[in-house]
Structure 1
Amino acid sequence: MTDLTMSSCGMPPLSLDPARPLSHFEFWPGEAFYAPIALYALWLGFRYGFRSSTCANPTIEAGGLVGESKSAVLSLATGDACDWIAPWTSIVRGTGDSATEADRAEAALRAANLPYPVVAKPDLGCRGMGVRPIASRDELLAYLDSFPHGQRLVLQTLIDWEPEASVLWARGPNDLQGRILSLTLKYFPRVTGDGMRTLRQLIEADPRAGKVAHLYLARHAARLDEVIAAGEQVRLVFSGSHSKGAIFRNGKHFATEALARRLDAIANDVPGLHVARFDVRCASIAQLAMGEGFRIVEINGVGGEAIHVWDSRTRLLTAWRDLCAQTRTSYVIGAANRARGAKPLSWSRLYFLWRRHLRLKTAFPTTA
């Protein structure tokens, strides 16, 4: 039976092993970690057809493998699915000064009935790139000032719930019901002041944060030399991204039938969706497990990996196995859609999307 014991914030209590706060591969270079998965994908290409995974979600560019637009994916939602998605709007950052662009952004917010606070994020970002909470016009001005001209940004209502999770779901084109491949709980690390040490000292002394201090120090540069009052908690990261410093835990025991059927119903109102990772905020993980009390903040396609592999307790071979299984699912479903007439993305377009992704990685504002 699923254990739904929750802490006061609606999440299972987070336990960290001081002797092993990180797995040995958590922050490996991508080239090293993903090499076996890339080789397996190459073999799948021979078996199921190269670029077949780009057909897994025919209505999303490249199936969501790389370079897809967040707003374009969310715009696919119709009917009841819209009720489960956190309200949002988007604008293209024009060439005007920040004040002019802020006027345009606030007009878009008013038109969508979105008051502050909101979350700003690049339409083409991934892994938490450029994600920031925006609570005022001044913060919006600062964000727009560092946002590249000609690029679209998404402004989405800030869901004021602490629990956050990612649920990877898949359903073949001939299947009536889908299944949950992965469920990951996201924790946002904090340090607690003692009235004597600075924020920098607290971060560096933390068993986990101290080992990846570079993820937090620049983000809190303005407060690093401040002595944190006794009992005061400082949240080190806002974005629920592992690469930006969030802590992930495998939540597979919360992947219930009720949640799977809820995602089926939502996907029914998102045409062409067969492989998706739903990033959600929820009132509690217990409610999420019942298929209730959550809002979707993002829908990722086949590029949305099974991020439970970044749980520090996961073994390397298990991580590779699970990611290979996910990749195979994308190819199998993509091949089935291809047989039904879906057209794979051209090599030239894939190359363009990948190059654009690499170019924009360093162009967006810093992540909160």
Structure 2
Amino acid sequence: MYLPVIIQTMILAVRYRSLSLPLLANPKLTISGMVGVAKSELMMQAQNECQQAILDWYQFLVTNQPAAEQVADIMPLVKQQALDFPLVCKPDIGCRGSGVKLVKNSQQLAEVIASYPRGTSLLLQKLADYEPEVGVFYVKMPNQTQGKVVSLTFKDSPTVMGNGELTLEELVLLDPRASKLTHLYQERHPKRWQQVIPLGEVVRLVFSASHCRGAVFTDARAHITPELEQRIELIMTGLPEFYYGRLDVKYPDLDSLKRGENLQIVEINGASAESIHIWDKNTSFLEAVKTLMWQYRTLYKIGAYQRRRGFKTPGIGKLFKHLAIEKRLARYYPTTD
């Protein structure tokens, strides 16, 4: 699917005389948030409505202290920001849900911290009040006053329901989709894998709503409303010089989402973000390719405009440097919940 995108990128690089022009799309972010860029860098820039919509978070560095001592030092500072267990712990640098853990107590947090080398930046974030999650892809040309929501995608974490007779493994094997990803779910539920699940109990197979971790994506573009776009625009005015990316958003129900009400932002992804409706099983291969090609044409158009404004391209070497940083850190990431 990405081969046509690569070919188009080569053509665009020649036309615009730059291979790294997309790295100017969000000029206040290091390489526009393409890869290997800290989530905290973007969230620290958030102001007003954007800052309020992002779920509260706390960033810290792993030290040489025993993990339990680090937790004892961290938690009073975390609680000063009105945060407490359960919390979401995730690497500051990472993508596609890598290393995301739901920690319910100090012992679990210590176990997560112990898996990382000294100097790693980690985030603790408030657990959202709502279960449903949606990916909101936002694009705005620098010469325009209003951006646009170009993609909306439901992100559903798969579940199975116990019947009081079958084990978790047997329930997963009976599910048409989940049975294709058995290895992912067994790794996340080793203690319960051979246990009989009580009647009526719903087991959430993955916590992180990432497609590569087993979540199910469904095209929701039909639910984009003027009210939702207006709310997203108001939120994004609080993020300086941000023109291209995807918001991962929690919401209470579909009506609230369509009205743009009670939205809680988990994180905002930069230039490497995709319109994830392309991963809906009903999206054709041709439509997915067209969407990706449109995205990269848009990145080049935005980058070209930023260059005319006086921003300088960072160079392709910087991209590879940050890619290497992320790959090096990914070796230490614990299994995603």
TM-score (norm 1): 0.88
The equivalent residue for 2:304 is 335
Q: Is the 8 A contact 1:93 1:153 kept in 2?
A: yes
Partner of 1:21: none
Does structure 1 residue 175 correspond to structure 2 residue 144? yes
Matched, 1:225 2:194: yes
Deviation digits for residues 33-62 of structure 1 (CA, Å, limit 9, x no counterpart)? 422222222222222332111000001111
Write the letter of the residue equivalent to 1:131: V
Which residue of the partner structure matches residue 3 of structure 1?
Answer: none
The aligned residue for residue 7 of structure 2 is: 39
Report what 1:253 is aligned to. 222
| Partner secondary structure for residue 223 of structure 1 | coil
Asked if the contact 2:135/2:246 (under 8 Å) is kept, the reply is: yes
Q: Please list the CA deviations of residues 159-199 of structure 1 after superposition, one character each: whole Å capped at 9, or x if unmatched.
A: 12011001000111110111111111011111111222211
Which letter does structure 1 place at the counterpart of 2:285? L
Q: In structure 1, what is the Cα distance between the partners aligned to 2:24 and 2:43?
A: 18
Structure 1 stretch 107-116 or stretch 81-90: which is displaced more? Answer: 107-116
The residue type paired with residue 310 of structure 1 is W
Aligned mates of 2:117, 2:124 — CA distance in 1: 15
* Residue 22 of structure 1: aligned partner: none
Partners of 2:86 and 2:19 lie apart in 1 by 44
What SS does the corresponding residue of 1:105 show, helix, strand or coil?
helix
1:148 to partner: Cα distance: 3.0
Secondary structure class of the residue paired with 1:106: helix
Decide whether the 8 Å contact of 1:177 with 1:261 is kept in 2: no
Question: Who is 1:305 aligned against?
Answer: 274
Question: 1:20 matched to which residue of 2?
Answer: none
Matched, 1:81 2:53: no
Q: Which moved more, 1:255-264 or 1:57-66?
A: 255-264
Gapped runs of 5+ residues in structure 2?
none
How far apart, CA to CA, are the structure 2 residues paired with 1:42 and 1:119?
Answer: 39
Q: Corresponding residue for 2:155? A: 186
TM-aligned CA distance change 1:198 to 1:352, over 3 Å: same
Structure 2 partner of 1:18: none
Return the offset for 1:232.
Answer: 1.5
Q: Which residue of 1 aligns with 2:185?
A: 216
* Deviation string, structure 1 residues 272-291 (Cα, Å, up to 9, x no partner): 10112111101112212211
The 1-side partners of 2:309 and 2:11 are apart by 22
Indicate the residue corresponding to 1:121 in structure 2. 90
Q: Report the Cα distance in structure 2 between the residues aligned to 1:44 and 1:100, rounded to whole angstroms.
A: 52
Identity of aligned residues (%): 38
> Does residue 92 of structure 1 match 2:61?
yes
CA–CA separation in structure 1 for the residues paired with 2:129 and 2:185:
22
Aligned to 1:234: 203
Secondary structure of the residue that 1:108 maps to in structure 2? helix
Matched, 1:104 2:85: no
- Counterpart of 2:134 in structure 1 is 165
8 Å CA contact retained: 1:193, 1:229: yes
- State the one-letter code of the partner of 2:12: L
Report the CA distance between 1:249 and its aligned residue.
Answer: 0.2
Partner of 1:293, secondary structure, is: coil
Which one of the candidate residues 275, 283, 289 is aligned to 1:320? 289
Partner deviation per Cα, 1:57-103 (whole Å, 9 max, x = no partner): 00111111111110110011112321111111110111211012212
Tell me by how many angstroms 1:296 deviates: 0.8
List gaps (5 residues or longer) in structure 1. 1-32
Q: Contact 2:163/2:198 (CA < 8 Å) preserved in 1?
A: yes
- What secondary structure is seen at the aligned counterpart in 1 of 2:89? strand
Partner letter of residue 172 of structure 1? M
* 15, 23, 37: which one aligns with 1:54: 23
Alignment length, in residue pairs? 336
2:24/2:311 contact within 8 Å kept:
yes
Q: 1:115-134: CA deviations, max 9, x gaps? A: 21211110001000011111
Question: Aligned partners of 1:186, 1:210: CA distance in 2, in Å?
Answer: 19
- When the two structures are superposed, what TM-score results if normalisation uses the length of structure 2? 0.96
Cα deviation, 1:107-154, whole Å, max 9, x if unaligned, reads 331232212121111000100001111121111111112123211011
4+ residue runs of structure 1 moved beyond 4 angstroms?
Answer: none
Query: Which amino acid in 2 is paired with 1:153?
Result: L
Deviation at 1:307, TM superposition (A): 0.8
